[in-house]
């Protein structure tokens, strides 16, 4: 009887440890959506670097660009499914504290990062749905939030900006240390693939760090001067960089970095330890 009980318990343990294949595929589909999103934002940022003042190098700008293409409605539906999948996967990582495939525990800092990522991409999913149903207003989202938060306390706006800067520093460290490579099934990759992914990730994560830093700095300045208009999204922040010496070059470098991150995300969709 004890042997039967042990075998039954082992079977239950194996079933509990078995990954949810649906969630695994949602995570991989989400990484593809994230990659496409950053490729689009990077392309729009190149337009900014070339002085096209109407360019909107932001997540919403990228979504609206897709909507204006042939079959844009169908593409946005697929895009929304991918974003929802990514948010669901990251939320699972935050709530369970374990990897979906391996069941390995995650650090508290990783769980916090997963939770923040889930919320952020759920917001992008909401933007996509808004564009699909035609209820999304163009631009000004961050400024509207800043005005609302400023009505409560400028410290709330400044604190949010500081958090973005900290996130940017975390992204820079992750890129410079190449710690993102630990999240991949490196044993399945060739030596050349590992080298190129490491390079793409280094450039991409550093570009993300600059992006978070620029937006966070703008929010802190808005709180300091009590001017919500100084809080700008990525597109507005990059437009501001253009007015500095070699501004076009710096914006172009950020754009290339965002495209690199998009390519790295596409590779992750195949090799990521989900």
More confident residue, 241 or 266: 266
What are the residues whose beta carbons fall under 8 Å from the beta carbon of 238, sequence distance 6 or more?
45, 48, 49, 57, 214, 251, 254
- pLDDT at res. 232: 80
Residue 246 corresponds to which tokens in the numbers above? 């070699």
pLDDT in tens, 116-136: 888 888 888 888 888 888 755
Q: ∠ CA 98-99-104 to the nearest 5 degrees?
A: 70
What are the residues whose beta carbons fall under 8 Å from the beta carbon of 97, sequence distance 6 or more?
105, 106, 111
Cα–Cα distance for residue pair 232/149, rounded to 1 Å: 14
pLDDT in tens, 145-196: 777 888 888 898 899 899 999 999 999 999 999 999 988 989 999 999 999 9
Cα–Cα distance for residue pair 230/237, rounded to 1 Å: 9
More confident residue, 25 or 261: 261
Torsion of CA 174, 203, 265, 214, to 10 degrees: 80
With a cut of 50, say whether residue 267 has pLDDT above it: yes
Helix, strand, or coil here: 91? Answer: helix
pLDDT in tens, 17-29: 444 677 778 888 9
Band (pLDDT 50/70/90 cuts) for residue 93 is confident
**DSSP state letter for 134:** T
With a cut of 80, say whether residue 137 has pLDDT above it: no
Band (pLDDT 50/70/90 cuts) for residue 68 is confident
- pLDDT at res. 53: 57
Average the pLDDT over each of 88-92, 137-141, 182-186, 242-246 and give the range with the smallest value. 137-141
- pLDDT at res. 102: 63
DSSP assignment of 118-169 equals HHHHHHHHHHHHHHHHT-PPPS-HHHHHHHHHHHH-HHHHHHHHHHHHHHHH
Cα–Cα distance for residue pair 46/187, rounded to 1 Å: 35
**For 233-261, what is the mean pLDDT?**
88
Q: ∠ CA 217-222-226 to the nearest 5 degrees?
A: 155
Backbone φ and ψ for 105, nearest 5 degrees, come out as -70, 150
Mean pLDDT of the chain: 82
Band (pLDDT 50/70/90 cuts) for residue 95 is confident
Residue 130 corresponds to which tokens in the numbers above? 């808004």
- pTM assigned to the model: 0.81
Residue 85 corresponds to which tokens in the numbers above? 């999948």
- Residue extents of the structural domains in the chain: 21-271
With a cut of 50, say whether residue 97 has pLDDT above it: yes
- pLDDT at res. 257: 95
Cα–Cα distance for residue pair 24/15, rounded to 1 Å: 16
- pLDDT at res. 106: 73
8 Å CB contact between 113 and 166: no
Cα–Cα distance for residue pair 112/107, rounded to 1 Å: 9
The percentage of the chain sitting over the pLDDT mark of 70, rounded to a whole number, equals 84
pLDDT in tens, 1-18: 444 444 444 443 443 444
């Amino acid at each position: 009887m004890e042997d039967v009980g042990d075998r039954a318990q082992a079977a239950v343990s194996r079933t509990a440890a078995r990954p949810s294949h649906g969630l695994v595929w949602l995570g991989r589909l989400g990484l593809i959506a994230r990659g496409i999103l950053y490729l689009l934002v990077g392309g729009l940022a190149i337009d900014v670097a070339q002085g096209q003042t109407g360019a909107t190098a932001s997540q919403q700008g990228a979504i609206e660009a897709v909507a204006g293409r042939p079959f844009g409605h169908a593409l946005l539906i697929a895009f929304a499914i991918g974003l929802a999948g990514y948010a669901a996967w990251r939320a699972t990582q935050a709530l369970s504290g374990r990897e979906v495939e391996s069941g390995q525990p995650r650090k508290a800092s990783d769980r916090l990062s997963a939770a923040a990522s889930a919320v952020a991409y759920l917001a992008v999913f909401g933007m996509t749905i808004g564009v699909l149903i035609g209820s999304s207003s163009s631009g000004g989202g961050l400024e509207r939030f800043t005005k609302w938060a400023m009505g409560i306390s400028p410290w709330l706006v400044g604190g949010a900006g500081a958090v973005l800067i900290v996130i940017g520093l975390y992204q820079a460290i992750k890129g410079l240390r190449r710690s993102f490579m630990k999240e991949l099934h490196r044993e399945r990759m060739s030596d050349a693939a590992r080298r190129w992914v490491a390079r793409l990730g280094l450039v991409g994560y550093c570009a993300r760090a600059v992006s978070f830093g620029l937006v966070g700095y703008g929010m802190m300045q808005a709180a300091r001067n009590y001017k919500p208009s100084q809080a700008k999204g990525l597109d507005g922040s990059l437009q501001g960089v253009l007015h500095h010496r070699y501004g076009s070059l710096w914006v172009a470098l950020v754009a290339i970095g965002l495209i690199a991150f998009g390519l790295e995300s596409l590779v992750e969709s195949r090799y990521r330890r989900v």
